[in-house]
Structure 1
């Protein structure tokens, strides 16, 4: 299985710098990677064209008014694909993974408030054909945010 070009330490330095600040200049990327300016330009272009790097804007849910961050474990009876397709239509589902163990799917959800969380669980997740158990848990505190928020103070 070909996974495309291999990343080296210079590529990883470019990616780390862009994770912290997606608007960093190529001169700053040059300093971060230790590469000459022209190589920095070329490397970023190759990383983007290969699909290893995407530069985009992400909303920080902790600062955007989302008051209810939660995890949800789902137990599925039958094929997972129809459940996965239904979950993709729900904007509150920010992250989902197929897992082994007590659950079939784990979700990370973000809602405007606790009432919206209850609505998501009762009126959406529990009504998806194939879902036989929904177990939500409220996040009490966020210890670490995903890679996208590297360097951002969460408190």
Structure 2
């Protein structure tokens, strides 16, 4: 179980995943050793993973969300098969008109067409796959609701949202 201090540590890492344990400790009111111990516990439990993230549009790639309907086969089997594809970055089962939401990165329209027609739509159980292409990311928040204290580094400007 994670507590409020764990959430505050995670939020500091969401703002800047390269922050030192000492910096985070000063912000959340804990020692460097306490932050390190909590970080390691959260990592061991699989709650936390610090990674670099790229902006597909700025990299000249396409970010596409696929809405997938599955028929005559368990959704979990289709999800597993889609998860094995290297271009697939995210797979989630959902409730509503679609069974799965799948996020993919493509080089261009030709790559997207090949991915949809030659791979995704040929997976056993995929009855329908609808592509929603991201034109621009307006907001992409990884902070816990209620998080207020975003540290401002010298030379950086944070615009309230």
TM-score category of the 2 structures, normalised to the smaller one: 0.7 to 0.9
**Alpha-carbon offset, residue 86 of structure 1:** 1.5
1:24 equivalent to 2:24? Answer no
User: TM-score, structure 1 length as denominator?
Assistant: 0.80
Q: Which runs of 5+ in 2 are unaligned?
A: 144-149, 151-157
Q: Which runs of 5+ in 1 are unaligned?
A: 1-5
Moved more, 32-41 or 97-106: 32-41
Question: Is the Cα contact below 8 Å between 2:68 and 2:101 reproduced in 1?
Answer: yes
**Alpha-carbon offset, residue 142 of structure 1:** 1.4
C-alpha change, 1:146 and 1:112, in structure 2 (3 Å) is farther
Alpha-carbon separation, structure 1, partners of 2:33 and 2:77: 47
Question: Is the Cα contact below 8 Å between 2:89 and 2:104 reproduced in 1?
Answer: yes
Structure 1 segments, 4+ long, off by >4 Å, are none
Matched with 1:3 is none
C-alpha change, 1:65 and 1:140, in structure 2 (3 Å) is closer
**Count of equivalent residues:** 145
Alpha-carbon separation, structure 2, partners of 1:146 and 1:72: 21
Question: Over the residues paired in the alignment, what is the CA RMSD in angstroms?
Answer: 2.4
User: TM-score, structure 2 length as denominator?
Assistant: 0.78
